[in-house]
């Protein structure tokens, strides 16, 4: 739907979700301006591990989104350059004890009914999959649909592949949203001036709540801090994404206190990435030795070989957390022309393509690839907020 | 005859000692880093890159660039420009990441 503006859609946020929105919108023939106050992948995208997971999701809307996204990532891997480091490596979830294995078995039985491939691996076969795994584990489950990308490069190459219909405006903070007399979106205001378009997509990630507030609507996105510990470069010592079964419970929890569960994976560049910690401490970037100690302890318990290698550095980021652990995707019924694509918590890399496709379909008036009802951006609103002047 | 930094500061180092580089004996003096001892013996490279196997030695010399990594007493990725040489140290050329034996 061409307009008199230079753009049909403005995407606020140049993380992987914003990049995917731009990619699919451009693919639908729309002209897109992507605005970010920082650089490409400068927020949570650049602080992730690049997980494309179905294994940690129970049946429900997020899993459907993840399965759809997994198929799209596989397509994208054929289109984008190899530098995005797409690896369909599979996941391996291990249970330290019999009780955990039993719970994991029940979980996978439910996942299978929703289209997840989950192959139970008895204890004695675990080391065929991962030779360095600690002895004494009760068993595990192999998830061949799990994959990984290098998230910052994936975001950058999505934007590049989107081609000439996408204009990038980096280092430009959105300070206001422009609305017409009817309250419908007309564009955004930045420190450098105004950009006009009839659609604005909120892909501001953990800062999506702030952007929503500029539009006069409430979206309770909260930061959930995580650290990743990075080892020195190694040959392939970990083949899959390997994690302990208690990770799933941590992801689903709403606790503000520090939680850690061992998540270990290699990278094509060499370093092994060790996660995952979760805590709600606002936007505090202070390094937490306690969190790093627990990450290291968890990883070396799963892979004793890692005790002999050195951690080189750590990085931190803020997952965009919504209270029901589901993202906000789609048009905001409170503000015509405003769409949201944020709040993906720790799954944004994985869920980005389906999110981008949904947004593109909504803007062009086409049918989204799945039911977006559960992601309704206004589902948290207890009362209507005031519209912007 | 050229003056050395040791002459310039009037240093009176203790007696020299031996370390080895790839099995061959190298003389080091107290206070020298591994890199300084190797340079003193005319050895300029003690690592090969992960991609392409190109030779590497000291670049910055102050612990910032991580170019001078070496395997010291069996432990890879030690910065030769920071690690003090000790009597009997075994320095070995580090091939790539130096952890090949861990590969699965």
Query: Is B51 part of the contact surface with chain A (CB cutoff 8 Å)?
Result: no
Same fold, A9-47+152-221+324-385 and A91-144+222-321: no
Query: Does the pLDDT at position A136 exceed 70?
Result: yes
Q: Cα(A346)–Cα(A225) distance, rounded to whole angstroms?
A: 10
Chain A contact for B99, CB < 8 A? yes
Query: Token pair for residue A13?
Result: 């946020």
Closest CA to A168 of A32, A58, A283: A32
Phi, psi of B55 (to 5 degrees): -75, 145
- Within 8 A of A306 by CB-CB distance, chain B residues are none
Q: Say if B86 is an interface residue toward chain A (CB within 8 Å).
A: no
Question: Choosing among A131, A234, A300, A310, which should be mutated to test the B contact, i.e. which has the most B CBs within 10 A?
Answer: A234
pLDDT at A4 exceeding the cut of 80: no
Nearest to A132 among B50, B77, B104 (CB): B104
pLDDT of residue A75: 98
DSSP state, A127? H
Q: Which residues contact A99 (CB under 8 A, 6 or more apart)?
A: none
What residues of chain A have any CB closer than 8 angstroms to a CB in chain B? 130-132, 232-237, 239, 270, 305, 309-310
Quote the minimal CA–CA distance from A308 to chain B in Å. 9
Measured CA to CA, the distance from residue A209 to residue A213 in angstroms comes to 6
pLDDT > 70? residue A383: no
For chain A, percent of residues with pLDDT exceeding 70: 97
For residue A36, the cross-strand partners are: A170
CA of A310: which chain B residue's CA is closest? B77
Best residue in A127, A230, A231, A232 for a mutation probing chain B (most B CBs within 10 Å):
A232
What are the tens digits of pLDDT across the range A261-285? 899 999 999 999 999 999 999 999 9
Predicted pLDDT of residue B2: 74
Which pLDDT belongs to residue A1?
A: 47
Per-residue pLDDT of A80-97, as tens digits, reads 999 999 999 999 999 999
Query: What's the whole-model pTM score?
Result: 0.91
ipTM: 0.81
Measure CB to CB from residue A237 to each of B76, B77, B102 and give the nearest one: B102
Q: What is the rounded distance in angstroms from the CA atom of residue A39 to the CA atom of residue A170?
A: 6
Half-sphere exposure of B103 (CA within 13 A, CB side): 8
Question: Which residues does chain A have within 8 Å of residue B100's beta carbon, measured at their own beta carbons?
Answer: 235
Verify whether the Cβ–Cβ distance A232 to B77 is below 8 Å.
Answer: yes
Q: How does the average pLDDT of chain A come out, rounded?
A: 94
Q: At what angle do helices A16-27 and A151-162 cross, to 10 degrees?
A: 20
H helices present in chain B, as ranges: 5-8, 34-40
Question: Omega of the bond prior to B16 within 30 degrees of 0, cis?
Answer: no
User: Would you say A192 and A37 are in contact if contact means Cβ atoms under 8 Å apart?
Assistant: no
pLDDT for the residue A339:
98
Residues in chain B: 104
Return the residue of A nearest to B77 by Cα: A232
Contacts of B50 in chain A (CB under 8 A): 233, 270
Chain B residues whose CB is inside 8 A of the A236 CB are 103-104
Residues of A in contact with B71 (CB under 8 A): none
Find the residue in A nearest to B51 (Cα).
Answer: A269
Q: Which residues of B touch A304 (CB under 8 A)?
A: none
CA torsion angle for A311, A315, A320, A324 (degrees, to 10)?
20
Residue A297, pLDDT > 90, answer: yes
CA A167 to chain centre: 23
CATH code for the part of the protein at A91-144+222-321? 3.30.9.10
Name the CATH code of domain A9-47+152-221+324-385 (choices 3.90.1150.10, 3.40.50.300, 3.55.40.20, 3.50.50.60): 3.50.50.60
Domain boundary assignment for chain A = 9-47+152-221+324-385, 91-144+222-321
A311's tokens: 């951690």
Which residue carries 């991962």 as its tokens? Answer: A130
Instruction: Work out the percent of chain A whose per-residue pLDDT is above 90.
Output: 90
Residue B58 Cα, gap to closest chain A Cα (Å): 19
């Amino acid at each position: 739907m061409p307009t008199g503006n230079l753009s049909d859609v403005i995407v606020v946020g140049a993380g992987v979700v914003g990049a995917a929105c731009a990619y699919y919108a451009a693919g639908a023939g729309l002209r897109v301006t992507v605005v970010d106050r920082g650089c490409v992948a400068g927020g949570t995208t650049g602080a992730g591990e690049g997980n494309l997971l179905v294994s940690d999701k129970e049946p429900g809307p997020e899993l459907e989104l993840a399965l759809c996204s997994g198929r799209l990532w596989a397509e994208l891997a054929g289109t984008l350059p190899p530098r995005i480091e797409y690896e369909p490596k599979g996941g391996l979830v291990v249970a330290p004890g019999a009780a955990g294995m039993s719970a994991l078995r029940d979980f996978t039985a439910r996942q299978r009914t929703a289209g997840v491939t989950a192959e139970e691996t008895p204890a004695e076969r675990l080391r065929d999959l991962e030779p360095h795994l600690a002895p004494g584990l009760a068993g595990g489950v192999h998830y061949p649909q799990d994959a990984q990308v290098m998230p910052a490069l994936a975001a950058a190459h999505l934007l590049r592949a989107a081609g000439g219909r996408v204009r990038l405006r980096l280092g430009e903070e959105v300070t206001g949203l422009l609305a017409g007399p009817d309250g419908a979106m007309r564009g955004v205001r930045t420190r450098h001036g105004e950009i006009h378009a009839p659609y604005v997509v909120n892909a501001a990630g953990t800062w999506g709540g702030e952007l929503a507030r500029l539009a006069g609507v409430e979206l309770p996105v909260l930061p959930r801090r995580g650290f990743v510990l990075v080892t020195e470069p190694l040959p392939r010592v970990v083949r899959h994404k390997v994690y302990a079964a208690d990770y799933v419970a941590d992801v689903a929890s709403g606790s503000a206190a520090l939680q850690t569960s061992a998540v270990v994976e290699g990278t094509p560049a060499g370093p092994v990435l060790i996660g995952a910690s979760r805590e709600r401490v606002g936007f505090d970037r202070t390094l937490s030795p306690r969190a790093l100690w627990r990450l290291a302890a968890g990883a070396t318990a799963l892979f004793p070989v890692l005790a002999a290698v050195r951690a080189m550095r750590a990085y931190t980021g803020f997952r965009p957390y919504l209270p029901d652990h589901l993202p906000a995707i789609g048009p905001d019924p409170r503000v015509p022309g405003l769409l949201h694509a944020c709040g993906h918590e720790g799954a944004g890399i994985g869920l980005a393509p389906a999110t981008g496709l949904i947004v593109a379909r909504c803007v062009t008036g086409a049918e989204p690839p799945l039911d977006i009802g559960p992601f309704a951006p206004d589902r948290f609103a207890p009362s209507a907020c005031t519209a912007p002047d | 005859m050229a003056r050395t930094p040791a002459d310039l500061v009037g240093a009176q180092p203790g007696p020299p000692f031996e370390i080895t580089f790839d099995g061959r004996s190298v003389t080091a003096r107290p206070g020298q880093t591994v890199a300084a001892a190797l340079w003193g013996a005319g050895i300029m490279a003690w690592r090969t890159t992960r991609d392409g196997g190109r030779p590497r030695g000291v670049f910055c010399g102050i612990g910032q660039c991580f170019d001078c990594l070496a395997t010291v007493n069996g432990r890879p990725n030690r910065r030769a420009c920071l690690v003090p040489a000790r009597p009997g140290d075994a320095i070995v050329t580090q091939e790539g990441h130096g952890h090949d034996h861990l590969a699965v």
